[in-house]
Amino acid sequence: MQPLAFTLAALVLLATPGPTNTLLWLSGASAGFRRSTPLLLGELGGYLAVIIPAVALLAPFLAAHPQIGLALRIVAACWVLFLAYALWTTGDDSRTSTEITIRHVFVTTLLNPKALIVALVLLPQAGLVATMPWIAGFSLLVVFAGSLWIGAGAMLVQLSRGARTSHLARRVAAVCLAAFSFGIAGSALAAMA
């Protein structure tokens, strides 16, 4: 894949709404842009924790053992559904609301199927050393796209001019996460049939 095609494909993938982006958007809406930017470390760490081993070792292993890939999808669906439940049941009072942490974003990204798509489809399958410049470029794209999601959430608060939006934003995010969870589980179950 050529660098421009890789960049465009990665940006489209990173801009697509998903569990990680929902958490970044929600944090931007509830905590603001500046306080949410450390979450980008969790996102980048989650992607790299999947991509680097996948490029180095996982591609041949998953091809030989597809049931493990299905199990990973089910685990991802359960995690995302848990996050949806936690967001839905969190109160509107800022003193009792659950803060989105780097750990939440890291685990969500770690279980996000996008990481495997990047590792096994978008990146050249040329070994880890040859792929490192591509991974570095992808890392910059992660920070860029994640910042846009956080900024979109923070802009929601600015546009509402101080109206109480955290309860509504959490409910919208919970519904989105539940939908993603059911989609991931459905694709895993369909692959089993």
- Residue 140: pLDDT band with limits 50, 70, 90: very high
What angle is formed at CA 97 by the lines to CA 82 and CA 152, rounded to 5 degrees? 80
Q: What's the rounded mean pLDDT across residues 160-180? A: 67
Contacts of 2 (CB under 8 A, 6+ apart): none
Measure the CA angle with vertex 18, ends 149 and 68; round to 5°. Answer: 140
Asked whether the whole model's pTM tops 0.85, one would answer no
Distances (CA, A) of 185 to 21, 28, 70, 75, 153: 19, 28, 9, 9, 27
Averaged pLDDT, 61-88 = 76
| Average pLDDT of the residues in 142-163 | 84
Q: How far apart are CA 20 and CA 176, in angstroms?
A: 11
User: What would the mean pLDDT of 40-49 be, rounded to a whole number?
Assistant: 97
Residues 13-23 have a mean pLDDT of: 85
Domain residue spans in the chain?
3-10+19-192
pLDDT of residue 135: 95
Alpha-carbon separation of residue 97 from 9, 29, 91 (angstroms): 36, 13, 6
Local structure of residue 119 (DSSP, 8 states): I
Q: Look at residue 73 in the predicted model and tell me its pLDDT.
A: 72
Lowest mean pLDDT among 2-11, 23-32, 84-93: 84-93
Residues 14-33 have a mean pLDDT of: 88
Q: Give the pLDDT band (50/70/90) at residue 24.
A: very high
Q: 2 versus 96: which is more confidently predicted?
A: 2
d(CA 86, CA 69): 26
